[in-house]
Structure 1
Amino acid sequence: MNPEDAGRPGDTEQPQDTAPPTVERVLPPRAGLTTPENPWPLRLLSENLHAYIARCDPTWVEGQVVELNQRARVTYLTLRDVDEEISVPVTLFAREMAQMETPLERGMRVVAQVKPDFWTKTGRLSMIAQGVRPVGLGDLLVRIERLRRALAEEGLFDADRKKPLPPLPNRVGLITGRNSDAEKDVVRNARLRWPSVEFEIRNVAVQGTSAVRGVMGALEDLDADPEVDVIIIARGGGAFEDLLPFSDEMLLRAVAAATTPVVSAIGHENDQPLLDFVADLRASTPTDAGKRVVPDWAEEKAQVARARVVLDRAVLQFLDREQAALDSIRSRPVLDQPEGMVLVREEDVDRLRERALRTVLHRTEREKDTIVQMKHRVRALSPQETLSRGYAVVMTEGGAVVKSSEQVTVGDRLGIRLAHGELAVRTDSTSSRQPGEPTD
Structure 2
Amino acid sequence: MTGQEASPPRRLAERALDTTAENPWPLRLLSSKMAQYIDRMPPVWVEGQVVQLNRRPGAGLAFLTLRDTAADMSLPVTVHPRILEAAATPLGEGAHIVVHAKPTFWPKRGTLQLEADQLRAVGVGELLARIEQLKRVLAAEGLFDAERKRPLPFLPAAVGLICGRESKAEHDVVVNARSRWPGLTFEIREVAVQGGRAVEEVSAALAELDADPGVDVIVVARGGGGVEDLLPFSNETMVRAAAACRTPIVSAIGHETDTPLFDLVADHRASTPTDAARRVVPDVAEQRRGLAQCRDRIRQAITARLRAEQETLRALRDRPVLADPHALVERRAEEITAARVSAGRALTWRLERVGADLEGHRGRLRALSPAATLARGYAVLRTHDGDVVRAPADAEPGEQLEALLAGGRLVLEVQGDPDARTMED
Partner residue of 2:47 out of 62, 65, 75: 62
In structure 1, distance between residues paired with 2:295 and 2:181? 21
Deviations 1:50-78 (A, max 9, x none): 49975x8x865421234567898887765
SS in 1 for 2:229: helix
The answer to whether the Cα contact below 8 Å between 2:72 and 2:200 also exists between their aligned partners in 1 is: no
Q: Which residue of the partner structure matches residue 282 of structure 1? A: 269
Q: Which residue of the partner structure matches residue 229 of structure 1? A: 216
Q: Percent identity?
A: 49
The answer to whether the Cα contact below 8 Å between 2:379 and 2:403 also exists between their aligned partners in 1 is: no
Deviation at 1:331, TM superposition (A): 3.8
One-letter code of the match for 2:47?
A: E
One-letter code of the match for 1:62?
A: E
In structure 2, distance between residues paired with 1:152 and 1:429? 142
TM-score under structure 2 normalisation?
0.69
In structure 1, distance between residues paired with 2:365 and 2:117? 141
Structure 2: 5+ residue stretches without partners? 1-10
Deviation at 1:210, TM superposition (A): 4.0
Residues 121, 252 of structure 1: alpha-carbon distance in 2 compared, 3 angstrom cutoff: closer
In the TM superposition, 1:203-352 aligns within 5 A as 203-256=190-243, 258-267=245-254, 272-352=259-339
The answer to whether the Cα contact below 8 Å between 1:46 and 1:123 also exists between their aligned partners in 2 is: no
SS in 2 for 1:192: helix
Residues 103, 195 of structure 1: alpha-carbon distance in 2 compared, 3 angstrom cutoff: closer
The answer to whether the Cα contact below 8 Å between 1:392 and 1:416 also exists between their aligned partners in 2 is: yes
One-letter code of the match for 2:242?
A: V
Deviation at 1:194, TM superposition (A): 1.7
Deviation at 1:82, TM superposition (A): 0.5
Deviation at 1:364, TM superposition (A): 3.6
Q: Which residue of the partner structure matches residue 139 of structure 1? A: 126
Residues 387, 160 of structure 1: alpha-carbon distance in 2 compared, 3 angstrom cutoff: farther
Deviation at 1:337, TM superposition (A): 4.9
Partner residue of 1:200 out of 162, 180, 187: 187
One-letter code of the match for 2:230?
A: L
Residues 46, 410 of structure 1: alpha-carbon distance in 2 compared, 3 angstrom cutoff: farther
Residues 344, 60 of structure 1: alpha-carbon distance in 2 compared, 3 angstrom cutoff: farther
The answer to whether the Cα contact below 8 Å between 1:169 and 1:294 also exists between their aligned partners in 2 is: yes
In the TM superposition, 1:108-127 aligns within 5 A as 108-112=95-99
The answer to whether the Cα contact below 8 Å between 1:396 and 1:402 also exists between their aligned partners in 2 is: no
SS in 2 for 1:164: coil
Structure 1: 5+ residue stretches without partners? 1-24
Q: Which residue of the partner structure matches residue 4 of structure 1? A: none
In structure 2, distance between residues paired with 1:270 and 1:239? 11
The answer to whether the Cα contact below 8 Å between 2:397 and 2:418 also exists between their aligned partners in 1 is: no
Deviations 1:164-192 (A, max 9, x none): 33333333232334544433332222222
Alignment RMSD (CA, Å):
5.1
One-letter code of the match for 2:235?
A: D
In structure 2, distance between residues paired with 1:336 and 1:53? 117
In the TM superposition, 1:69-88 aligns within 5 A as 78-88=65-75
The answer to whether the Cα contact below 8 Å between 2:383 and 2:400 also exists between their aligned partners in 1 is: no
Deviation at 1:409, TM superposition (A): 7.2
Equivalent residues, number: 404
TM-score under structure 1 normalisation?
0.67
In structure 1, distance between residues paired with 2:102 and 2:64? 14
Residues 98, 312 of structure 1: alpha-carbon distance in 2 compared, 3 angstrom cutoff: closer
One-letter code of the match for 1:285?
A: T
Q: Which residue of the partner structure matches residue 167 of structure 1? A: 154
In structure 2, distance between residues paired with 1:94 and 1:188? 49
Partner residue of 2:380 out of 385, 392, 396: 392
Deviation at 1:217, TM superposition (A): 3.8
In structure 2, distance between residues paired with 1:232 and 1:85? 24
One-letter code of the match for 1:63?
A: G
